[in-house]
Structure formats: C-alpha cells, structure tokens
Chain A
Amino acid sequence: MASRAFSIVAALTVAGLAIGPVTAVILRAEAFSGFRPADWQALWFTLLQATLSAGLSVMFAIPLARALARRQFIGRGLLVALLGAPFILPVIVAVLGLLAVFGQSGLINRVLASFGVPEVQIYGLHGVLLAHVFFNLPLATRLILQGWLAIPTEQFRLAATLGMGRGAMWRAIELPMLRRIVPGAFAVIFVICLSSFAVALTLGGGPRATTLELAIYQSMRFDFDLARAAVLGLVQLALALTAGLIALQVTSLPVAAKGLDRQVPRWDRTDRRAICTDIVWIGLAALFLLMPLLMVTLNGLAGITNLGASVWQAAGHSVLVALGSTALCLLWALPLTTRWGEWLGLAGIALSPLVLGIGLFLIVRPFANPFELALYVTATVNAFVSLPFVLRILRPEAEAIRADYARLRDALGLSGWVWLRWVFLPRLKRPLGFAAGLTAALSMGDLGVIALFADPDRATLPLKVYQLMGAYRMDQAAGGALLLLILSLGLFWMFDRGGRVGSAT
C-alpha cells in the first residue's frame, strides 16, 4: 500500500537525521575521556528541572484548557493566539521580557516595594521552572484544549440526560481524554526542557543550574572534544527517547466515539462555581503570559522604527524559510501520525543542536559544496526540529479519525486519495492549522549557536537581533525582537486561523 511506503520513507528520514550526525561526530572524534563529577550533577539537575517543568506546565494547563474550552468571550480567539507567543520568542528576548516582570528590579518587585514588602528573588530552581512554564504552558494548553474540543458534544449531552454529576462526567468523559493527551504533552515538554541551557543558567542564577546541554556546548566550542560532546549528546537522546517510551506506555488508545461535529454548549457551563474557577484561571494565565510580552513590546517600540534595510531584508528571508519549512514539515508529519512515528519524531528536539549542526556539516562536506545546499538544509532542519510538536498536535486527532471512520472506509472501499481528500484532511483541519502555525513561527524564531556560523547574505532576523546586542545596540535589538514577535505571531495567527475557519473555536 502506498501509504505504508510513505510512512517507511518518512520514518527512515527521521532516523537517519537523528543517527547520521551523531555517528559522523563519533567517527571524527578521538577517545572519550569519561564522565567528570560535574557531569553527574548536570545530569541530575537536567532531569529534575525537565520533570518539574513539564509536570507543572501540564498541571496548570489542564484547568486552563478546560476553562478555555467551555467559555466563550470577546477576544478569546486573540487570547488563544497570543498564548502561543512565549513559545516562539527567541530565548534571549523572552528572558529579558520575563525578567522585566519578575526580576530583581522588575514590575512585581517595584510594586511590592511601593507597599514596603521585601523583594522576591527570582533566581534559583523556581526561576528556571517559572521560565519553562512561561515557555511551555501555552503549548500544553493548546494541546489539551484540542483534546477537549475534540470530545463530541453529544457525549456531554448524553451525560446531562443521564443526570451525571460533575465528578461522574469528569471520570467518564474528561479523564479518558486527558489520559490520551497528557502523557504525550508531558513527554514533548520534558524533551524540550532537557536541552534548555541559556534559560536554565540565567534564571537558575549560576552553576547550580548547569544542564547537559551546557556541557555539550563547552565540549564543542571550548575544548573541541567531539567525543565528549557526542557521548553527552547520546545521553540526552537516550533520556528523551526513554521519556517518549514511558509516555507511550501510559497513553491510552482512542476509543471510537464520533459525533456529528455540532457545537452544543455544555450544560454545566452556567454552574456558578465553574464560572468563577474558569475566570480565575484565564485571568491569571493571561496576566502571567502577557505581561512579559507587553514588556518586550514596550521595550521594542523605540527601536522598531530605526532598524535599517538589512534587518527588514533578514525579516523577509526568515519568512520565506519559515514557509518552506512549514510545507515540508506537514508533508513529513502526516505519514508519521502513529504511536511509533511520534516516538521517533521526538529525536528532532532530543538531539543536541550543536551535535546535529556539526554532524551535518561533516556529512555534507565531502559530497557537495555545503554552501549551495544551505537553504535546503535550513528548511529540512527547521522541519525536523518542529516535527515532534506537529506530531503531538496531529496524532490524537488523526488516530481518532482512523478509529472512528475505519468501518466507513472499509464498507465503502475508499481509496487512499479519496479517504485523504474527503475524510481525513477535512477532519484534521483544525490541528493542521495549529501545527502549521507553530512550525512557521518556530522557524522564524531560530537562534542560538547559529549566531556563530551564519552567512552574512542570508542572515535571519533572530541573528540580526543577536548581532545588534553584540554591538551594544540594545534598543535596536529590542526593536528587532518586537518585529520578530509581530511576524512570528502573524504567521502563527494566519495558519491557526485558517485551520479554525468554519468552526466555532
């Protein structure tokens, strides 16, 4: 069957991109010098912060997603879109925005000081968690919100008819949905947090907050110890894939439960206690997530009018690369929307970017002038890195559709194309839009070690922001960051909105 062949090709590409670069680095490396005591400490801290960060993000996301699922209010769509912003900001910009609110001389401490309350110290493990929840709560919320919205409203109506109380409804309808969605959401956030480095260090306040990724960076850039970098990279990959396996084990499979796609307001949404809870959750989350964004915006207003042609050119370049990556990523992801496909896809964020970058360089250089392949490689790597998020977004819906409509397909003998065109893709529209938006925005926001390897003619916007900061031009850098925020959000909004056209959400 053709679809089986597509799946195999897609899976092999992922595996190749995960294993190839590490192997290339190992082959090029000299003997491994062994672990240092500090490495074990880094390993422990990495696991601790990633587990807590993912746990808290998911924990807070559940009531927030439920509140968003059962409330309709003016600006809800805008809020849902804006909630995606922290996730797509360049790290350095997000950190400065976060500290403008929660830092030593941030908004909160200034307000506290005016009441004579002693200041709150942000730096420490709690600071790392705060930052990681800031980045990942929106993603977790969107993933879980999708799960809630995918519950056929007929189920709630049936529950009401049967006179189910809130507890019973929770157990019978909502909990099974969460068991299907939450483990995967936890795993993907855990894996992102595994490779956190600049955020963990800055918010953690010092070397106590050392992660494996820092050790990899040090080995690669300072010591040029490829063996150490590769081994640490493999440890990180193994941790990520183990987390993925555990998530697979505890995830329950979808049960066939289809509805008629009608939007019927839930009967329990007028319950007073529920209204209060929902308002509190939405209000707090909006405040927590939007305040730092507001600070980024205010800081950037002065600089955005003063950016210069090259920054705008870089912005245009970033948009094109983002669109290319998005198309590629969706094509790549569709055949992989299965349990093992998603597990494999985790490799995209589990592999240290440094190891991936150097490995690809080693692989390509003997065969071709890497310069000529630069754009294709950028698009491919962008797509590869976005794959885990896209798969997490698409798979629950994709599996549900397959489970719900398998009998229809068999009964009618639908061919692959007809099935895709008339059943599968239309029903997958909402998550597809969200996934496309996220990929586009992620591809816009790429930054980091890149700053060290960029081509001046093909610079991306985040790189320009970094260059401006490196040249003391903090105001212009803030302007560039604001432009990046606007463009990323714009792309995200466009795709996400496209996916939601015609639906009440």
Chain B
Amino acid sequence: MKKALSFAAGLLASTTMVSAQDKPVLTVYAGDYIVSEWGPGPKIEEMFEAQCACDLQFKPGDLLPRILLEGAQTDADIVFGLNTDVTKRARESGLFAPHGQDTSTLTLPVEWTDDVFLPFNYGHTAFIYNEERISDVPDSFDALLNAPDDLKIVIQDPRSSISGLALVLWVKAIYGDRAEQAWEQLAPKILTVTKGWSESYGLFTDGEADMVLSYTTSPAYHIIAEEDRTKKAAIFPEGHYFMVELSAKVAGTDVPELADQFLAFQLSAAFQTMIATGNWSFPAKLDASKWPEGFKELNLPEKVLFYSEDEAAALRDETVEEWRRALSQ
C-alpha cells in the first residue's frame, strides 16, 4: 500500500531533466543502491566528469522494467548495474549496442566473451556467519545440509530477489537432479525467507539467524568500515555461484562517443580500484595484488559455478518450483 506512493512518484521523478549547462549530458540509468550517497554513484560521477567535459546524470530506478517500458524512446545512454538473470530479456529487446571493449584482459573467475554486457564488478553467493556465535561452521554444502537443525539460516526469495535466484541456481549447479532433496534437507534449518537482501542481512546482524545468504565480499565491509573481523564467509569445496554486475550502451543513444568513453572508463584502473569499496565487490579488471587491504583477507572459493544466460533461463522456472515445493511441505 505505502509502496505505491513513491513508486509512482519515483518513476515520474526520475525521467530526464534538461541540463542547464551546455555540456553534453550522459544519462545513466542505475540501481538505487548505486546512485545512493552510500553507493559508488557520486564517486563515479565525480571521476568521470573530471575527464569527459560532460554532465553525467544518474537516473535511479528499476533498470529493466523501466527501459522496456520506454523502449526506443528512452533517455538512457548507459544502463549500469544489470545482473545476468535479466541479460537474456534485455538482449532480446534489441535496445542495446555492442560495448566494443576488450574483455580478454578481465580478471573474472569465469571467461567473459559477451559483446553487449560489460562487467564492472563481481562476487559469489556465500553464507556469512559470525565466528563468535557459531563454532561448528559447515565446511561444505553437504555439511550444511547435514548440520543439526538448530543451525538457523536466513535466505532470500528467488522470486523477488536476485541473490535468492542465484542461490537456487547454486543448489542446482551442485546437486542437479537431487536439488529438490537438497532443499528438503535444508528446509528445517531455514529460519525464514525474506523479500530482499536487506531484510535478511538485518536479521543476521540483529542476531536472529546464525548464517545469512549473502556474498563472499560482505566481510570486506565489516573489516574495512567497522574493523570487525568476526564476520566470515563459509567456503564450500563444491563451489560458489558467480554473480556479476554489468553495464551496456543503449543503441539509440544520442551521445555514442561519450557512452563509449564511459565504458572504457569503467574498466580503467582508477574506476576499478574505487569500485571495490564503492560497491563492496571484487573489481572486474584488477589484479588481486592491487585490491584494497581488506579484500585481500577474504576467503575465496577455489571453484566457481556459473550458468550461461540461456542455461539459467531454461533452468529458472524449474529450480524455483523445486525450491517452492520443498519448502512448502
């Protein structure tokens, strides 16, 4: 109910405003968490404007629905912060143009050859725990499934949350045809399922749950911003699901050179060094030796699991349904 209020207003508020200056305007649609003053947006704007003689305007919003609604009339030049779960749909819309950047030098744990969607940072799904709270930390996904039922975890709903969707794909990638049984085994340990990541993480930091579904990079925030080293990611030898954030150039942009310049900037050392602590994620093109100190301390998975967008699209309904059946019993 209350949601309607600013949903509508925000939608309306966030469409383009004519720039007062004569500089060319680069309009970037980005997720609210990016544009927020606690996200990387302000820093990105400052850094890019220092080199482009342009006015970078962020328009926060729900990227894909918005751009699909606007179609070819969209004001966006760049869309910043897409996830792989929507790239298929976005690609099929035909609204995006090739990025033209060299992806062979990226430092991602998976090979990236997509010529439309360009990564800027990544992470992996992981269960985060507080080492002062639990001593018997599961050392594999199997161990988590077999853990006593009083180990309580909180996860996100794959129908409303991107990390929740990554979780069901993670389980599918490990357990394949036995994914539903795995969910049945996990079910008694799932304290609850939340709509989004924030609710889950809030429950975890409030001490309500022992472990929370989050990212391998989450402890970096606690280490760097709070000097708290008690929050750790449990690393499982079965592998962790890869999550990447992407941007793309809108085909109908009226400032194609600026858009290209932005995409190149996105892979520059300056941007990549900033994004780690800006968005609490691993940079997409930066050698691990150059990561900020806190990031070097993080536990990293040895094996990384990832479905291509076609595989993920084919599996999505089935895996979500398996999850739903197993948890509805």
Interface residues of A (CB under 8 A from B): 28, 38, 41, 90-92, 95-96, 99-100, 103-106, 123, 192, 195, 197-198, 201-208, 210, 214-215, 217-218, 220-222, 224, 299, 308, 310, 349, 351, 353-354, 356-358, 360-362, 364-365, 369-371, 373-375, 377-378, 381-382, 384-385, 442-443, 445-456, 458, 460, 462-463, 466-474, 477
B92 to chain A, nearest CB (A): 11
B191 touches A353 (CB 8 A): no
Interface residues on B, range: 35 or more
Known A-B contacts A453-B60, A453-B62; A222 and B160 likewise in contact (beta carbons under 8 Å): yes
From B200-208, B252-260, B265-273, B303-311, give the one contacting chain A. B200-208
Instruction: Output the nearest chain A residue to B42 by Cβ-Cβ distance.
Output: A456
Q: How far, in whole Å, are A270 and B198 apart by their CA atoms in the complex? A: 51
Known A-B contacts A214-B160, A222-B160, A453-B61; A201 and B194 likewise in contact (beta carbons under 8 Å): yes
Residue of B8, B205, B207 touching A377 (CB-CB under 8 A): B8
B328 touches A450 (CB 8 A): no
B58 touches A361 (CB 8 A): no
B192 touches A203 (CB 8 A): yes
B9 touches A378 (CB 8 A): yes
A437 to chain B, nearest CB (A): 16
Chain A hits for B218, CB < 8 A:
472
Residue of A197, A208, A215, A381 touching B5 (CB-CB under 8 A): A381
Within 8 A of A (CB), among B1-51: 1-17, 31-33, 35-39, 41
Chain B hits for A373, CB < 8 A:
12
Chain B hits for A362, CB < 8 A:
69
B68 touches A224 (CB 8 A): yes
A221 touches B65 (CB 8 A): yes
Instruction: Output the nearest chain A residue to B152 by Cβ-Cβ distance.
Output: A104
Known A-B contacts A95-B199, A96-B203, A201-B194; A453 and B15 likewise in contact (beta carbons under 8 Å): no
A369 touches B152 (CB 8 A): no
B193 touches A202 (CB 8 A): yes
Q: How far, in whole Å, are A85 and B201 apart by their CA atoms in the complex? A: 24
Q: How far, in whole Å, are A463 and B32 apart by their CA atoms in the complex? A: 9
A455 touches B60 (CB 8 A): yes
Q: How far, in whole Å, are A203 and B208 apart by their CA atoms in the complex? A: 13
Known A-B contacts A195-B1, A356-B7, A458-B13; A467 and B61 likewise in contact (beta carbons under 8 Å): no
A16 to chain B, nearest CB (A): 14
B161 to chain A, nearest CB (A): 9
Q: How far, in whole Å, are A284 and B33 apart by their CA atoms in the complex? A: 40
Q: How far, in whole Å, are A351 and B4 apart by their CA atoms in the complex? A: 9
A452 touches B62 (CB 8 A): yes
A-B contact pairs, 11 of them (CB 8 A): A38-B324, A90-B2, A201-B193, A207-B323, A210-B324, A214-B160, A221-B160, A353-B4, A361-B11, A361-B69, A467-B32
B324 to chain A, nearest CB (A): 5
Known A-B contacts A205-B192, A467-B32; A310 and B2 likewise in contact (beta carbons under 8 Å): no
A455 touches B10 (CB 8 A): yes
Closest 5 CB pairs of A and B: A448-B3, A453-B10, A353-B4, A450-B6, A357-B7
Chain A hits for B6, CB < 8 A:
378, 446-448, 450, 453-454, 460, 462-463
Instruction: Output the nearest chain A residue to B4 by Cβ-Cβ distance.
Output: A353
Known A-B contacts A99-B203, A442-B2; A454 and B60 likewise in contact (beta carbons under 8 Å): yes
Q: How far, in whole Å, are A217 and B17 apart by their CA atoms in the complex? A: 28
B96 on the A face (CB < 8 A): no
B110 on the A face (CB < 8 A): no
Q: How far, in whole Å, are A54 and B167 apart by their CA atoms in the complex? A: 35
Chain B hits for A371, CB < 8 A:
12-17
Q: How far, in whole Å, are A349 and B5 apart by their CA atoms in the complex? A: 11
Q: How far, in whole Å, are A474 and B212 apart by their CA atoms in the complex? A: 15
Within 8 A of A (CB), among B214-232: 218, 221-222, 225
Q: How far, in whole Å, are A477 and B152 apart by their CA atoms in the complex? A: 24
B213 on the A face (CB < 8 A): no
Chain B hits for A198, CB < 8 A:
194-196, 199
Q: How far, in whole Å, are A454 and B193 apart by their CA atoms in the complex? A: 26
Residue of B196, B202, B328 touching A474 (CB-CB under 8 A): B202
Chain B hits for A205, CB < 8 A:
190-193
- Binary contact track B75-112/A, C-beta < 8 Å → 1, others 0: 00000000001100100000000000000000000000
Residue of B12, B58, B196 touching A360 (CB-CB under 8 A): B12
Q: How far, in whole Å, are A95 and B198 apart by their CA atoms in the complex? A: 12
Q: How far, in whole Å, are A214 and B158 apart by their CA atoms in the complex? A: 11
Q: How far, in whole Å, are A38 and B325 apart by their CA atoms in the complex? A: 10
B60 touches A192 (CB 8 A): no
Chain B hits for A364, CB < 8 A:
12
Q: How far, in whole Å, are A90 and B202 apart by their CA atoms in the complex? A: 14
- Binary contact track B48-72/A, C-beta < 8 Å → 1, others 0: 0000000000101110111011100
Chain A hits for B5, CB < 8 A:
353, 378, 381-382, 385, 443, 446, 450
A92 touches B198 (CB 8 A): yes
B10 touches A454 (CB 8 A): yes
Instruction: Output the nearest chain A residue to B3 by Cβ-Cβ distance.
Output: A448
Chain B hits for A218, CB < 8 A:
159-160
A100 touches B206 (CB 8 A): yes
A370 touches B32 (CB 8 A): no
Residue of B65, B192, B197 touching A358 (CB-CB under 8 A): B65
B180 on the A face (CB < 8 A): no
Residue of A221, A374, A450, A470 touching B3 (CB-CB under 8 A): A450
A99 touches B208 (CB 8 A): yes
Known A-B contacts A214-B160, A445-B2; A456 and B60 likewise in contact (beta carbons under 8 Å): yes
A448 touches B7 (CB 8 A): yes
Chain A hits for B328, CB < 8 A:
41, 206-208
Chain B hits for A472, CB < 8 A:
201, 218, 221-222, 225, 280
B67 to chain A, nearest CB (A): 10
B118 on the A face (CB < 8 A): no
Chain B hits for A354, CB < 8 A:
3-4, 7
B209 on the A face (CB < 8 A): yes
A98 to chain B, nearest CB (A): 11
A454 touches B32 (CB 8 A): yes
Known A-B contacts A451-B32, A455-B10; A224 and B324 likewise in contact (beta carbons under 8 Å): no
B8 touches A310 (CB 8 A): no
B37 touches A370 (CB 8 A): no
A13 to chain B, nearest CB (A): 15
A199 to chain B, nearest CB (A): 9
Known A-B contacts A353-B4, A381-B8, A474-B202; A452 and B193 likewise in contact (beta carbons under 8 Å): no
Instruction: Output the nearest chain A residue to B68 by Cβ-Cβ distance.
Output: A224
A310 touches B152 (CB 8 A): no
B36 touches A197 (CB 8 A): no
B157 touches A470 (CB 8 A): no
Chain A hits for B89, CB < 8 A:
224
A360 touches B160 (CB 8 A): no
Chain A hits for B157, CB < 8 A:
201, 207, 214
B147 on the A face (CB < 8 A): no
Chain A hits for B222, CB < 8 A:
472
B145 on the A face (CB < 8 A): no
Chain B hits for A451, CB < 8 A:
32
A96 touches B10 (CB 8 A): no
A105 touches B208 (CB 8 A): yes
B205 to chain A, nearest CB (A): 5
Q: How far, in whole Å, are A473 and B198 apart by their CA atoms in the complex? A: 10
